[in-house]
Amino acid sequence: MNQPLVSVICVCHNHAAFVTEALDSVMTQTYPHIDLIIIDDASTDGSAKIIKRWLAKYPQATLVLNSENLGYCKTFNRAFALTQGEFIIDLAADDILLPDRIATGVQALEQAGPEYGVTFSDALHMDAAGAILWKHSDQYPHESIPSGDIYRHLINRYFICSPTMMFKREVLISMKGYDESLTYEDFDLWIRSARNFKYVYTPQVLVKKRKLKNSMSHAQRIVLSKHGWSTLEVCRKIKLLNRTDDERRALNQRIGYEIRQSLRAINLALTFRYLILWWQNRS
């Protein structure tokens, strides 16, 4: 029974209404060899008290409490330093893992080969009350979701549901964790990891992702949101990482998309920076 250890990092910030369900979903996995690290990023809604009550039933989990709000990337890195698992899952405290998520992910990565570092799956999107809104693949049909070397595809478009990801420990070590200068992690994680590791897609629904008005994905569309500047930084990284003309053209398409988003957010300063990047990337 040489089952590799899987470390689940559950990051909580003001998720008092959802954190118990998220944590329960880890403990009801069909895969037995799990290390759970819970880290609360200075919640102000009583989340920490709820987590402590939950730990009375599951004392094998580890709780870390930030004394001040550090933001998602710094908070995750702090928890990652405490993990020992061969595989890592980043679980936001408002999302839910379905029972076979970890077992399926371990199998997918072990069968895919050493050049594969990340697996992701289909998901159900739900509202705050848990009602199902849609299936992720309804927007991105399975046949259009690539596996293998997906670096260029990730430049072109978003198609991964972030909470479905499981990655090998070596992926995060090679990246030196999440970039703490950014306000969100997933786009940067995709780009930097996909440059050096292949991805394997599992078409099963393995996660439920909650859609909240105060989520980071929603915040990116808010006027003058700081998240747009983080996206610009990732696009600048793409320019440095690109190797082929196809990848350069993919970045130009991405820049065009981000310009439209920044104009909708009435962020003219950000639009100007994207225009400079487009000019630098044109040849």
Claim to verify: residue 98 and residue 22 sit in the same structural domain: yes
Total number of domains constituting the chain:
2
Residue 272 has a pLDDT of 96
Round to whole Å and give the CA distance between 88 and 92: 13
**Among residues 184, 219, 254, which one ends one of the domains?**
219
Q: Specify whether the CB–CB gap between 200 and 118 falls below 8 A.
A: yes
Claim to verify: residue 90 and residue 174 sit in the same structural domain: yes
Residue 212 has a pLDDT of 85
Residue 223 has a pLDDT of 53
Residue 86 has a pLDDT of 97
Q: Which of 139, 123, 260, 273 is nearest to 205 (CA)?
A: 123
Identify whether 47 is part of a domain.
yes
Banded model confidence at residue 142, pLDDT cuts 50, 70, 90: low
Claim to verify: residue 160 and residue 208 sit in the same structural domain: yes
Banded model confidence at residue 139, pLDDT cuts 50, 70, 90: confident
Claim to verify: residue 15 and residue 127 sit in the same structural domain: yes
- Asked if residue 221 has pLDDT above 60, the reply is no
Claim to verify: residue 135 and residue 212 sit in the same structural domain: yes
Round to whole Å and give the CA distance between 213 and 217: 9
Claim to verify: residue 103 and residue 240 sit in the same structural domain: no
Identify whether 1 is part of a domain.
no
Interval 70-107: pLDDT, tens: 999 999 999 999 999 999 999 999 999 999 999 999 99
Claim to verify: residue 214 and residue 234 sit in the same structural domain: no
Least confident range from 115-119, 149-153, 209-213: namely 209-213
CATH number of the domain encompassing residue 61: 3.90.550.10
Identify whether 39 is part of a domain.
yes
Residue 222 has a pLDDT of 52
Residue 226 has a pLDDT of 81
Claim to verify: residue 146 and residue 277 sit in the same structural domain: no
Banded model confidence at residue 213, pLDDT cuts 50, 70, 90: confident
What's the chain look like in SS3? CCCCCEEEEEEECCCCCCHHHHHHHHHCCCCCCEEEEEEECCCCCCHHHHHHHHHCCCCCCEEEECCCCCCHHHHHHHHHCCCCCCEEEEEECCCEECCCHHHHHHHHHHHHCCCEEEEEEEEEEECCCCCEEEEHHHHCCHHHCCCECCHHHHHHCCCCCHHHCEEEHHHHHHHCCCCCCCCCCHHHHHHHHHCCCEEEEEEEEEEEEECCCCCHHHHCCCCCCCHHHHHHHHHHHHHHHCCCHHHHHHHHHHHHHHHHHHHHCCCHHHHHHHHHHHHHHCC
Identify whether 259 is part of a domain.
yes
CA-to-CA dists, residue 25 to 50, 74, 163, 269, angstroms: 16, 24, 13, 43
Banded model confidence at residue 183, pLDDT cuts 50, 70, 90: very high
Claim to verify: residue 153 and residue 274 sit in the same structural domain: no
Claim to verify: residue 124 and residue 11 sit in the same structural domain: yes
Identify whether 36 is part of a domain.
yes
**Among residues 194, 219, 244, which one ends one of the domains?**
219
Claim to verify: residue 155 and residue 239 sit in the same structural domain: no
Identify whether 69 is part of a domain.
yes
- Asked if residue 220 has pLDDT above 70, the reply is no
Query: Domain range for residue 273?
Result: 227-281
Banded model confidence at residue 199, pLDDT cuts 50, 70, 90: very high
Claim to verify: residue 15 and residue 125 sit in the same structural domain: yes
**Among residues 177, 193, 219, which one ends one of the domains?**
219
